[in-house]
Structure formats: C-alpha cells, structure tokens
C-alpha cells in the first residue's frame, strides 16, 4: 500500500499522470467492453471519460496538468483519422459510383443534425453564443472548434457538444437502427458517421467493416461540407 501511495504521488506531479491514467483506464474499459460482447452501453470511450472525470475531480488534479501528459495520445488522433481512409480506398470503385447520392445524403444528414440542435436550443431560449456552439456538434471535435470560432461560438463548448454527440450516437445507434429495421450495414454506418463523427465511426468499425468504411466516409463528408457551408450560412442569421 505504501508503494502504491508513493507511485501515486510521483505520477500525479509529472506529465506521466495524464498518459498513464488514460491508457490504464481505457485498457480496463476495453476489457469490460469485450467481456460483455461489445454491448453499446459499455462503450470504452464513454467509460474512460467518466472515470477520468471522477478521478480528476476526486484527486483535485487541474486539467492542464492532466493534459500535459494526455497530449501524447491526443496527437495520435490525427493519424488515427487519416487511417480511416484505408477502408475507403479498398471500396473506391463502389464509392465513385455512388458519389452523387453520398454527397446529397451527407448534406441532408448534416443539415438535419445542425438545424435540429439549433432549433431546439432556440426554443429553450439559449443565448446566441451557445446556439452557434451547438451548430457544428456533429462534426469531429477539432473541426467543430474551428467552425465555432469562425461563426461566433465558443470553441471549448463546441468540443464538449461534439464529444457528447459522438458518445450518445455510439451508445444509442444500434438500438435506434434495430427499432427502424431494414437498414443495410452501409446505411447504418453512414448514418452513424454523419451524426456522431469519429466516435460513431469507431463503433461502426468494431461492428462491421462495411459499416465502418461508410461511417468514415460520412465523417469526411461532414468535415468538408460543414467547413465550407456553416460559415456562409451563419452570415445569413
């Protein structure tokens, strides 16, 4: 026990704390996820976020100190997103044939995700800054932060909304698709990637290769369309 306390004191005062805590928590969450048959409610990202939030709160660790170590994992987000292009390349012929339908579906899905969130926030009387931060909630967090900054929102809140959206989609997507019924794996993946960006795409990849490929495609389409269109649309309102 004394050795554990000494180890905790050492890690909590160095950048190793954020890195170690994140890796250990995720590995344990992933083990639980596999043990329960990859049930959506056991999503390892969701439980890692919750456990780390409790850990930082209980230990009184400031977020900047945690992130000084976790930034090494954060850096890997870029290569991980780029790696999603591989399943798309394997299906490039099929995607080329469906390009028009894919872009139209991406535009409709992205518009529905953004407009519904802003409309609900407006009906609840949320301030303008929050509404602008909600608009890019279905775009991957780094891009959502950049868009929010351009359209007058709060980048940090946009990142929170994006992560929450991704987690909710990854956890609830299977139940919603099963309730609708009759959807192909490609359609499920594309819908999940459109609504829940990278976290949804990660979930889709774990379930089915085709679903994962189309989820990654939807993620890319949303990044492209949202980056181009949201700043233009925001000027009209």
Quote the pLDDT of residue 62.
81
**The pLDDT value given to residue 63:** 78
pLDDT along the chain (237 residues), means of 10: 53 67 89 86 86 87 78 72 74 80 89 91 90 89 86 87 87 86 86 85 82 85 88 81
pLDDT of residue 61: 80
DSSP-derived secondary structure for 186-211: HHHHHHHHHHHHHHHHHHHHHH-HHH
**Phi/psi zone of residue 126: left (φ > 0), alpha (ψ -120 to 50 degrees), beta?**
beta
Q: Report the pLDDT value the prediction gives residue 7, as an integer from 0 to 100.
A: 52
pLDDT of 219 reads 85
Phi-psi category of 182—alpha, beta or left, where left has phi over 0 and alpha has psi -120 to 50?
left
Is residue 165 within 8 Å of 138, Cβ to Cβ?
yes
* Whole-number pLDDT of residue 123: 92
215, 190 Cβ separation under 8 angstroms: yes
Specify the 3-state DSSP secondary structure of 126: coil
The per-residue pLDDT for 28 is 92
Structural domain boundaries in the chain: 2-75, 82-236
Centroid of chain to Cα 153: 19
Cβ 198 vs Cβ 70: under 8 Å: no
Question: Does pTM surpass 0.95?
Answer: no
pLDDT at 94: 76
Cα–Cα distance measured from residue 228 to residue 110, given in angstroms and rounded to the nearest whole number: 12
pLDDT for the residue 8: 52
What pLDDT is attached to residue 9?
54
Looking at residue 119, its pLDDT comes to 92
């Amino acid at each position: 026990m004394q050795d554990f306390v000494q180890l905790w004191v050492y890690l909590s005062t160095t950048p190793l704390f954020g890195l170690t805590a994140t890796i250990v928590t995720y590995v344990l969450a992933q083990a639980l996820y596999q043990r329960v048959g990859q049930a959506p409610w056991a999503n390892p990202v969701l439980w890692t976020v919750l456990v780390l939030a409790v850990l930082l709160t209980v230990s009184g660790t400031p977020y900047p100190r945690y992130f000084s170590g976790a930034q090494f994992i954060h850096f890997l987000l870029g290569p991980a997103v780029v790696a999603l292009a591989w399943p798309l390349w394997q299906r490039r012929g099929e995607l080329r044939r469906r390009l028009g339908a894919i872009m139209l579906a991406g535009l409709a899905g992205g518009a529905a995700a953004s407009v519904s969130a802003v409309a609900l926030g407006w009906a609840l009387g949320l301030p303008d800054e929050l509404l602008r931060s909600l608009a890019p909630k279905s775009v991957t967090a780094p891009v959502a932060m950049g868009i929010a900054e351009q359209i007058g929102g709060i980048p940090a809140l946009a990142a929170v909304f994006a992560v929450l959206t991704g987690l909710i989609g990854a956890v609830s997507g299977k139940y919603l698709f099963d309730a609708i019924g009759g959807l192909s794996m490609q359609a499920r993946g594309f819908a999940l990637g459109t609504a829940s960006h990278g976290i949804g795409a990660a979930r889709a990849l774990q379930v089915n290769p085709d679903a994962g490929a189309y989820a990654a495609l939807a993620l890319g389409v949303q990044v492209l369309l949202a980056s181009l269109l949201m700043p233009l649309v925001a000027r009209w309102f």
